[in-house]
Structure 1
Amino acid sequence: MTTVRPLDGIRVIDLTRVYSGPYCTFLMAQAGAEVIKVEPVEGESVRKRDGSGGAMLPFALLNANKKTMTLDMKQPEGIEVLERLCAGADVLVENFRPGVLARLGLTPERLAEINPRLIVARNSGYGQEGLYRDYLAMDLTVQAASGIIDATGFPGEAPVKAGPAIIDFISGTHLYGAILTALRHRDRTGEVLSPDIAMMDAAIPSLMSNIAAAWANRDDPSFEARTGNRHGGLSLAPYNVYPASDGYVAIISVLEKHWLATAGALGLDWMLNDPKFETLKLRCANMDDFDAEVGKETVKHTRAELRQLLSEAGAVCAPVMKLTEVLRDPHLHERGMLHYIDHPAYGEMVVMGSPMRFAGVDPLPYDPSHDLGADNDAELAGLGYSAAEIAALRDKGVL
């Protein structure tokens, strides 16, 4: 094992807020980058949440292993500090509305003048150009605009959002990939690229099956995009959530061998030669009856029994776990994706590691999220500010 990590030596200035950008920079920090999170003097919005139980957890989860500074960027002294930070950085990441940094004087030309090697990565709802560029955007509204809400829920019922904030994390992951691509290109050619990741753009590929169905029915005004727990294109069976004696299980057969294994394990071999179910096309055409027959067998077993029975047969199955169960999942804890800490500000909590693992590389030691402005003095001293100058910035409210 080694403690040398892929992004050791990369310095990142993180101006991002809420989920998408902070998740990107969390991944960078976990891969070894030095990430300096710059917040407004009152703290970013997620840090300040005081709603019911667990409201502070997302901030702690997304901002581990980062240094924390505060700056009032509406004051010229705050911009001067930020410019000094950028002068020694590899990457600046922001998820403001398009044009915000330019209005503060940090145009692409100015940033290039400060540091010609600086990669400026931008994440916004609809991109730096296009018809929608100036619209405010959050996960919910991009789910709506991209078609995800229309594709979620049961046919004949009102559309619903996806349960998790999938847009934020899809776009945050694309932002990470774009930054790494730009770093690779810079190091190979010397040319600096500026990633522009739109949340809406990142959402579209996730709708692959749904898009196929919509295209096939593009001239049908009555087309229903919502398929409940079934395949988005209604072209696979089994593909559903089925009852167990203690909850539900998800079963999917992408290949015919998966269905043969499922049928054998559940005692449904008679369906293989039934004129309603003997081919995939027939199973899809008679999906209601098919799912009902599968459900009659799955409900005889517990979730755990079904997982073992079907998995050993070569079928694809998983229990529908409650989130409270997932937080205690022994597999996730054994891998270190989840683990418990005693956070200095929030007490005992379960926190996450990075989904990206590299064989032979030790996970980064976990450094809990820092208090607001905890690293101001040290970082400013590193930029050449004297103690008197730091005190003056604090007195003026820049920090």
Structure 2
Amino acid sequence: MTPQDHSNDSNEIADRPLAGVVVVDLTQVYQGPYATFLMAKAGAQVIKIEPIHGEPTRLRAKVSGGASLPMAMLNVNKKGITLNLKTEQGKALFKELVRHADVVVENFAPGVMDRLGIGWDVLHEINPRLIYGTGTGFGITGPDKGNLAMDVTIQASSGIMSVTGTPDGPPLRSGASVVDFLSGVHLYAGIVTALFERTRTGKGRLVEVSMQETAYPTLASNLGLVYRQQGKPSGRVGNRHGGLALAPYNVYEAADGHIAVVCATEHHWQNILKAMGREDLKDDPLLSTNKARVENIQNTDDFVESWTRTLSRDKLFALSKAFSIPAAPVRTLDEVMSDPHMHERGALEWFDDRDLGRIVLPTTPIRIHGAEQVPTVSSPLLGEHNQEIYGKWLGLSDEKLQSLREQEVI
């Protein structure tokens, strides 16, 4: 019997975009699990394979309870099994799963799967329709392919860190794991693109995504500054526009916190003057054009902050909406987790997790209108679905499963 024969009924509803797609998920930490999270939330049947002692994100729970939240966030709606791929029996079981799968996803270092004897070439022979997705730091070819990578090291090597921070301070990492999730989205997009192509060709594909390569386009504004300075180091500009091409464009002090304000057009600047009640300055030579404001950027920022400092975040945000000014208060994570707008849209939901209790979880940000949403199911316990996948799907007996456990294969 195939996995499709035993798939969860909730994933067989035709109006879920990836209904009927079986994904074998070897990914860990953030990048790969986010890609397969998006697949699960689109209706795919995702089988998460972990080492018998668990993947790194699960092991972080030993540090503190809250450290397990990423595991709960990124692995909902997945079946969880354990498998020791360093054993011959483990490899054989994996190949049997692949025989009936549509997608395999992994984010190991390049060469790991080949050294195990279960790389793309082997799996493509077993299942010519297989889409094989791999996420790496620097790609599977090139002189840097063997470099180990994590989000922070890619922020360093990609140049992101060099432009993050204040002009007189050290390079800083982004507070969020931006490259992990950015590359995870690209990995999802590449796999789904290959699945679409397969509907026409019937053939599988090897799909790869490099974290460093996904990061480069995010530096568009900063690269513009590099070209403008004819290759001289651009340095860090704090919260100002990365290319120093717009002003005001900064985070300003408010009476009770901070607010981000951006002027992308002259119309926005005129609206700021109206909100300030300072339309008398519309022809001021230091402020009347974006070019003038950029050339006198410290004066511009001081002028704007002399106004924002007198008002609360809420008052400033209300004025920004009333006068059509791109602005937003700098909010805490607690504030964001309770955001009424995100909860009303279903982007965030309260969920009773069996380990963490009542928590806020994100749903997929991809909205396919008219498609039925996939109700959230807790991330699996370690090996929770071994019996279901190996027993029901692959037809192994209870005696065989017990033997595999004793041999530390599953």
TM-score range (shorter-chain normalised) is: over 0.9
Alpha-carbon separation, structure 1, partners of 2:320 and 2:231: 40
3-state DSSP class of the match of 2:162? coil
Alpha-carbon separation, structure 2, partners of 1:114 and 1:42: 28
1:140 aligned partner, one-letter code = V
Match of 1:96 among 76, 86, 108: 108
Q: CA deviation at 1:173?
A: 0.3
Q: Which residue in 2 is equivalent to 1:232?
A: 242
Q: Which residue in 2 is equivalent to 1:293?
A: 303
Alpha-carbon separation, structure 2, partners of 1:268 and 1:36: 61
Q: Deviations over 1:175-223 (max 9, x none)?
A: 0000011111111222322111000001001111011111222443xx3
Q: Does 1:19 align with 2:26?
A: no
Q: CA deviation at 1:158?
A: 0.8
Q: Which residue in 2 is equivalent to 1:311?
A: 321
Q: Does 1:29 align with 2:40?
A: yes
Alpha-carbon separation, structure 2, partners of 1:46 and 1:17: 7
Q: Does 1:302 align with 2:318?
A: no
TM-score between the two structures when normalised by the length of structure 2: 0.94
Q: CA deviation at 1:345?
A: 2.2
Q: Which residue in 2 is equivalent to 1:132?
A: 144
Gap change, CA 1:53 and 1:299, over 3 Å in 2: farther
- 2:225–2:234 Cα contact (<8 Å) kept: no
Alpha-carbon separation, structure 1, partners of 2:87 and 2:205: 29
Gap change, CA 1:200 and 1:75, over 3 Å in 2: same
Q: CA deviation at 1:253?
A: 1.4
1:347 aligned partner, one-letter code = G
Match of 1:253 among 241, 244, 263: 263
Q: CA deviation at 1:108?
A: 2.4
Alpha-carbon separation, structure 1, partners of 2:239 and 2:199: 45
Q: Which residue in 1 is equivalent to 2:52?
A: 41
Q: CA deviation at 1:53?
A: 5.2
Alpha-carbon separation, structure 2, partners of 1:379 and 1:362: 25
1:323 aligned partner, one-letter code = L
Q: Which residue in 2 is equivalent to 1:75?
A: 87
3-state DSSP class of the match of 2:205? coil
Q: CA deviation at 1:59?
A: 0.4
3-state DSSP class of the match of 1:143? helix
- 1:155–1:224 Cα contact (<8 Å) kept: no
Q: Which residue in 1 is equivalent to 2:10?
A: none
Q: CA deviation at 1:362?
A: 3.1
Q: CA deviation at 1:259?
A: 1.6
- 2:254–2:313 Cα contact (<8 Å) kept: yes
- 1:71–1:398 Cα contact (<8 Å) kept: yes
- 2:155–2:173 Cα contact (<8 Å) kept: yes
- 2:28–2:107 Cα contact (<8 Å) kept: yes
3-state DSSP class of the match of 1:374? coil
Match of 2:197 among 185, 188, 193: 185
Q: Which residue in 2 is equivalent to 1:394?
A: 405
Gap change, CA 1:62 and 1:188, over 3 Å in 2: same
- 1:231–1:240 Cα contact (<8 Å) kept: yes
Q: Which residue in 1 is equivalent to 2:96?
A: 84
3-state DSSP class of the match of 2:234? coil
Q: Which moved more, 1:249-258 or 1:8-17?
A: 249-258
Q: How does 1:148-187 map to 2 (within 5 A)?
A: 148-187=160-199
Alpha-carbon separation, structure 2, partners of 1:3 and 1:92: 22
Alpha-carbon separation, structure 2, partners of 1:17 and 1:346: 20
Q: Which residue in 2 is equivalent to 1:10?
A: 21
Q: Deviations over 1:328-353 (max 9, x none)?
A: 11111111222222211222221111
Q: Deviations over 1:212-265 (max 9, x none)?
A: 111222443xx3321100000000011111111111111111122112112211
TM-score between the two structures when normalised by the length of structure 1: 0.97
1:115 aligned partner, one-letter code = N
- 1:61–1:351 Cα contact (<8 Å) kept: yes
Gap change, CA 1:299 and 1:358, over 3 Å in 2: same
Q: Which residue in 1 is equivalent to 2:254?
A: 244
2:28 aligned partner, one-letter code = R
Q: Which moved more, 1:99-108 or 1:127-136?
A: 99-108
Percent identical pairs in the alignment equals 44
The answer to which structure has the higher helix fraction is 2
1:44 aligned partner, one-letter code = E
Q: Deviations over 1:108-142 (max 9, x none)?
A: 22111211100110100000001110011000000
Q: How does 1:259-338 map to 2 (within 5 A)?
A: 259-338=269-348
Q: CA deviation at 1:271?
A: 3.0
